Each structure stands twice: as structure tokens, then as C-alpha cells.
């Protein structure tokens, strides 16, 4: 029996639906593993299709093509190490989330996912059938168990594999980021190691897919839960893990250990990665956004430049008579600091034309929110016109606080194709601006140093749609609002919970009311980077028509 076994881990970034491209990445990883003398080259869950493929994977033409792509890979990778890769599998009328072991030109073993996640962003119960509890597969004389992602969050799959002869566990994952997710994963995997007494290799993918970012951070645990290898978060990488068998069974030799950044850096990296991959995977190269002089558009501009480079970002100031000189100066300062194009497009003439057109209909009605929203919608119209003309995707800039309570104009400042800060509360946007000014990393394409002046961060937030307007005229101050939203949205709490936390019942009821009546806006809003377990879209799904209100 062999006393050493080398596993090449391919922590890579697939593209949903790109069967040829994903196959090419898998083939290149296999070739790298072969050159390094690997016994097994491993790729993440559902790698051949990309993940999360949602209903696409149920399309017969697609899953048939995916299975054929796996068979073609097996033929291409016949002369060398085994190749493990995730993809769909069909038996009769059943569709499974599978993990294939390719050896000697064929699919030598097929592992089927047993526990199907059906929460947050996952709908696997709707898509896949549950596979039976199974045993390990063999690569040479070594028996390996592969609980697929969610399977490793439960005791039974790993225990069954250990009881039926697995010598170590290789867990392929498509596990997306939310703040604090790594610690949750690690705790579950340590539990599996303690229960089974087996080493465990946790392999996760990287890259953005719609609102989700897969953050990598693959690792290897030895019995007792000691970390032997820890790969970086967010970066594509391959690593060779050497397993050595001694008197007490298999152990992983110590290998690469990458330190992980703090949560603010990870949040910012997620927003950059989400936008960069959304652009690359949809075929866009350039973006534009309305730059107002406030912190939300400023941080989105910084994210865009860090993701795409200054040459691919256009910032547009669209002033009205309510736009202060301070806002004009602040917007220009951000664009200059980032080095991107800055256009000045006043809306005064357009607004006058719309006002005159509507005057006969509006006669006898006092000006109100209607006229404020006309400004926002005119800006949306002009920005979308530039998007069409120049082929640049429009970014929206509403933070989670605004998205939650509907403090945004549908078909106005909500117009656009992607929103990097959709899941970041306003109070955290302030922190993100300060963090970006003080930090620079090699994955950022923008300049180092202060890119958002302190006066922009410190001034009272305002939409500037009427004279002397402040956000606090319509909403609780952001620290109070965000704390209430954390209870009602992120913790799914009640008005009574808000009161128990020290907030006025009337204020909590108002915020709850605004959340519910804004559902229709969120239903039509642009996708954005998911940072929390309760991001708006797949994590939190409420009816648009809804008369229920918390009676507490």
C-alpha cells in the first residue's frame, strides 16, 4: 500500500453555463497536478456547470451537455492522476448533484449529494433529488469519502463514509460568502473530524456569480482539528497537499498557510470581486454612474475603479438648482482622485421642459414628492441614454438602508444593471470609505491614498431634491435606522424586539411599514453583492401585496 498520497486542490473560478471554458480550467489544473506527481486532482462542487446554476441545470439539453463534457474530460485526462469534479447526473427521472471521479478515461465513481440545502440562496430541494448514503471511492489503494458541501454540515454522511472504510474526507464545495461564514464552516468541519477521527480536506470555489461571491479559503484539517493548510480567500490558486500514512492512519503534512483579512476588507473585496466578475462574465467592459458628491456614489466609484480600472469608469454629475457648490466640488474631487472620466450634465433645461409639459395636467396641485422624483427620473433617463450610446453598464448606488425603506426613486436613481453596495448599511458605508482611504491592496486597480475626502464622509447625507433637504427629514438618523433594520431584517425580529432594544415603538412601526411597502421597488431593483445572510433577493423573499403588520 502507498504511504503517501498527493492531492492537488484547484480553488478556481468557473462561469455558469460555460462548459467549454470550465472544462479547459479543469484540464489545466489536471495537467498541473500531473506535472507535480499528484494522485488526485480535485475541483469544487458543480464545477463543470458553474454554481449556483439555479433552474438552468434542470434544462435537459444543458444537463445532457454537462454530462457529456465530464465524459470528454475523462477521455482527455486518461493518462495521469484521477480527476474529481462536480456536475449534474441523471438516473432515470432523477437529477442529482454529483461528484465524479474520473480515472483511466472514464467516470470511475459517482458520489451523489444527500443533504440538499433549501435556505438562504439555495433551492436544491426544488432542483435536485437526494442521493442515498453511500460509501467511499478508491484511487489506487486509498479509499476517500466525499461529502458534497451541505453533506459535511451533518453527521450522518461523514460517519457512514468512515464506517465503510474512508481513510480521509475530501469535501467539494460551492459555498458563497457572508460575513463570518469561514468560522461557521470551520466549526462544522472540525466537528466532522472529531466525530470520524479522519483528516478532512475542504475545497471551495472562488468568484462572483450574480449576487454571490464564492470566497475560497480552502483548508485541510488533521485529526483533532489541527489546521495543516489554509489557502487564501478570493484568489484562484492550486495547492498540492501531501497525505502521509503512519501508524495512526493518514495525516496531512503542513503546507501553505494564508492569513485571512478582517471583515471590512473581506466585505470590500466581495464588492470588488462581485462587480469585476459580473462584468467579465456578462461581457461588459465599462461602467458609468451618477456621482452626486455623497458617500454612496463615492464608494461605488472607488469600487468600480478598483474592479475595472479608471479607464473603464465614467462618473457623471447631473446637477439641478438644488445641487450645492459643495456637492459639485466633492464629486469632482472623487473623480480626480480616482483618475476616471468626469462629465458634467446639468438637468435644468430638461427638468424645465418636463415641468412645462406637465403644467396643464398639474395645474391646481401644489408641488410635492412628484417634482422631486422627476429630477431623479430625469437623471436616470440621461444616464441610461449614455449607457446605451457608449455601451457602458450603469451602476446604481443605493445602500441597504435606502433599499430597505424605499428611500430611492424607482426608474430614477434605482435605474441600472448592478449595485455593489446593495447589502451594505449606510453606517457601514461610512466605515468602508474610511477603510478604503487608509488601505490599498494589490488586487485593487485604483490608486492608493485618500480617494474620498473627509468632508464628504462627515457632511449630513442629503438627496438634494429640494432646498435644505436632509435624509434625516424623512428617516431616523442612520445609526438608529440601521440598528432597527438589523433587528427587523437581518435578525427577522419584531417591533417588540426593537422596543426591548430601547427604540421607540412609533419609530419601529414606521420603519417596519416602510420595509413592507417598498417590496415592489426591491422586486425591480438591480442585483448587488451579497455580504450578509439576509441580503435582499434570494435570502429574503416577501410578497409584494401584503397587508400584515406586526401587532406587537
Q: Do residues 386 and 291 touch, judged by C-beta distance below 8 A?
A: no
CB 308 within 8 A of CB 276: yes
Cβ 129 vs Cβ 82: under 8 Å: no
DSSP alpha helix (H) spans, 319-347: 325-338
Mutual angle of helices 325-338 and 295-308, in 10-degree steps:
10
Catalytically annotated residue among 25, 77, 124, 149: 149
Q: How far is CA 274 from CA 12, 212, 380, in A?
A: 15, 7, 23
Q: What is the Cα–Cα distance from 53 to 476, expressed in whole angstroms?
A: 39
CA–CA gap between residue 443 and residue 261 (Å, rounded): 13
Cell of 495: 417591533
Beta bridge partners of 204: 173
Question: Looking at 113, 281, 286, 422, which residue is catalytic?
Answer: 113
Q: Confirm whether 340 is a catalytic residue.
A: no
Question: Do the bridges between strand 237-246 and strand 4-11 make them parallel or antiparallel, or are there none, so unpaired?
Answer: antiparallel
Which distant-in-sequence residues (6+ apart) come within 8 Å of 187 by Cβ? none
Eight-state DSSP code of residue 45 = T
Identify the H or E element spanning 301. helix 295-308
Residue 47: phi and psi, rounded to 5, are: -65, -35
**Which residue of the set 25, 45, 167, 422 is catalytic?**
45
Nearest to 202 by CA among 210, 215, 266: 215
Q: Are strands 142-145 and 137-139 parallel, antiparallel or unpaired?
A: antiparallel
Q: Is there a contact between 97 and 124 (Cβ–Cβ < 8 Å)?
A: yes
* 113 included as an active-site residue: yes
CB burial readout 453-491, b (16+ within 10 A) else e: beebbeeebbbbbbeebebeeebbebebbbbbbbbbbbe
Known catalytic residue at 149: yes
Q: Which single residue is written with the C-alpha cell 458617500?
A: 295
For the annotated catalytic residues, the residue numbers are 45, 113, 149
Amino acid at each position: 500500500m502507498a504511504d503517501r498520497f498527493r492531492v492537488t486542490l484547484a480553488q478556481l473560478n468557473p462561469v455558469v453555463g460555460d462548459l467549454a471554458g470550465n472544462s479547459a480550467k479543469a484540464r489545466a489544473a489536471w495537467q498541473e497536478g500531473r506535472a507535480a506527481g499528484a494522485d488526485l486532482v480535485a475541483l469544487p462542487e458543480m464545477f463543470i456547470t458553474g454554481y449556483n446554476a439555479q433552474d438552468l441545470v434542470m434544462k435537459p439539453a444543458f444537463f445532457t451537455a454537462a454530462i457529456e463534457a465530464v465524459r470528454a474530460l475523462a477521455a482527455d485526462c486518461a493518462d495521469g492522476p484521477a480527476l474529481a469534479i462536480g456536475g449534474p447526473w441523471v438516473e432515470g427521472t432523477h437529477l442529482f448533484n454529483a461528484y465524479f471521479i474520473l480515472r483511466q478515461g472514464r467516470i470511475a465513481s459517482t458520489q451523489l449529494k444527500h443533504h440538499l440545502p433549501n435556505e438562504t440562496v439555495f433551492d436544491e430541494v426544488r432542483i435536485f433529488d437526494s442521493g442515498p448514503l453511500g460509501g467511499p471511492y478508491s484511487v489506487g489503494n486509498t479509499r476517500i469519502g466525499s461529502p458534497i458541501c451541505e453533506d459535511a454540515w451533518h453527521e450522518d454522511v461523514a460517519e457512514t463514509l468512515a464506517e465503510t472504510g474512508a481513510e480521509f474526507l475530501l469535501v467539494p464545495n460551492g459555498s458563497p460568502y457572508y460575513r463570518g461564514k469561514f468560522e461557521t464552516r470551520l466549526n462544522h468541519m472540525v466537528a466532522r473530524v472529531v466525530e470520524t477521527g479522519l483528516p478532512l480536506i475542504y475545497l471551495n470555489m472562488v468568484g462572483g456569480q450574480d449576487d454571490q461571491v464564492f470566497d475560497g479559503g480552502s483548508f485541510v484539517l488533521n485529526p483533532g482539528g489541527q489546521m495543516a493548510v489554509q489557502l487564501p480567500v478570493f484568489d484562484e490558486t492550486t495547492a498540492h497537499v501531501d497525505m502521509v500514512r503512519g501508524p495512526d492512519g493518514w495525516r496531512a503534512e503542513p503546507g501553505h498557510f494564508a492569513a485571512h483579512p478582517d471583515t471590512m476588507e473581506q466585505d470590500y473585496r466581495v464588492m470588488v470581486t462581485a462587480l469585476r466578475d459580473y462584468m467579465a462574465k456578462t461581457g461588459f467592459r465599462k461602467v458609468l454612474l451618477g456621482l452626486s458628491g455623497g458617500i454612496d456614489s463615492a464608494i461605488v466609484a472607488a469600487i468600480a475603479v478598483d474592479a475595472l480600472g479608471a479607464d473603464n469608469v465614467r462618473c457623471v454629475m447631473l446637477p439641478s438648482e438644488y445641487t450645492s457648490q459643495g456637492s459639485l466640488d466633492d464629486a469632482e474631487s472623487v473623480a480626480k482622485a480616482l483618475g476616471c472620466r468626469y462629465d458634467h450634465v446639468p438637468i435644468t433645461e430638461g427638468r424645465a421642459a418636463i415641468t412645462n409639459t406637465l403644467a396643464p395636467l398639474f395645474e391646481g396641485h401644489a408641488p410635492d414628492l412628484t417634482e422631486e422624483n422627476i429630477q431623479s427620473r430625469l437623471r436616470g433617463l440621461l444616464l441610461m441614454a449614455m449607457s446605451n450610446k457608449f455601451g457602458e453598464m450603469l451602476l446604481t448606488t443605493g445602500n441597504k438602508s435606502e433599499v430597505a425603506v424605499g428611500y430611492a426613486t424607482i426608474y430614477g436613481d434605482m435605474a441600472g444593471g448592478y449595485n455593489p453596495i446593495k447589502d451594505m448599511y449606510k453606517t457601514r458605508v461610512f466605515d468602508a470609505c474610511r477603510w478604503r482611504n487608509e488601505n490599498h491592496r494589490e488586487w485593487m486597480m485604483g490608486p492608493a491614498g485618500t480617494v474620498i475626502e473627509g468632508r464628504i464622509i462627515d457632511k449630513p447625507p442629503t438627496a438634494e431634491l429640494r432646498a435644505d433637504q436632509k435624509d434625516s427629514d424623512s428617516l431616523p438618523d442612520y445609526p438608529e435606522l440601521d440598528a432597527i433594520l438589523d433587528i427587523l431584517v437581518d435578525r427577522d425580529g419584531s417591533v417588540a424586539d426593537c422596543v426591548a432594544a430601547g427604540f421607540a415603538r412609533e419609530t419601529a412601526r414606521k420603519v417596519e411599514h416602510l420595509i413592507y411597502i417598498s417590496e415592489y421597488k426591491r422586486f425591480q431593483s438591480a442585483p448587488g453583492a451579497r455580504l450578509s445572510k439576509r441580503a435582499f433577493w434570494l435570502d429574503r423573499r416577501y410578497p409584494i401585496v401584503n397587508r400584515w403588520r406586526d401587532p406587537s
